[in-house]
Amino acid sequence: MTREMLKTLSDTELEQVGVWTREETRERAVKRKQETIARIRDLAAGAGVHIKISGARGRPAKAEPEPKRPRAK
């Protein structure tokens, strides 16, 4: 699809293309993640290691928020 083709679409059609694009991007990301996890498991099994991959991402949340410091006047 080219930019010229996009210009010929109505607003409704253009919005639908955006929805489809976001859905496809999300599906591809999930597929890549699953394929990567499968490759990691295969490599680990080949080395005789058992791994567990959970769904958690990023850093764990802080236990307590830092107290706010009083503002200097």
pLDDT per residue over 60-73, tens digit each?
A: 777 766 667 777 66
Report the number of distinct structural domains present in the chain. Answer: 1
Spell out the residues 6+ positions from residue 14 whose beta carbon is closer than 8 angstroms to its own. Answer: 6
Instruction: Identify the pLDDT of residue 65.
Output: 65
Eight-class DSSP state of 65: P
pLDDT per residue over 43-63, tens digit each?
A: 999 999 988 887 667 777 777
Q: What is the pTM of this model?
A: 0.63
Q: Which domain, by its residues, includes 29?
A: 21-51
Q: How far apart are CA 59 and CA 61, in angstroms?
A: 6
47, part of any domain: yes
Instruction: Identify the pLDDT of residue 67.
Output: 67
3-state secondary structure of 33: helix
40, part of any domain: yes
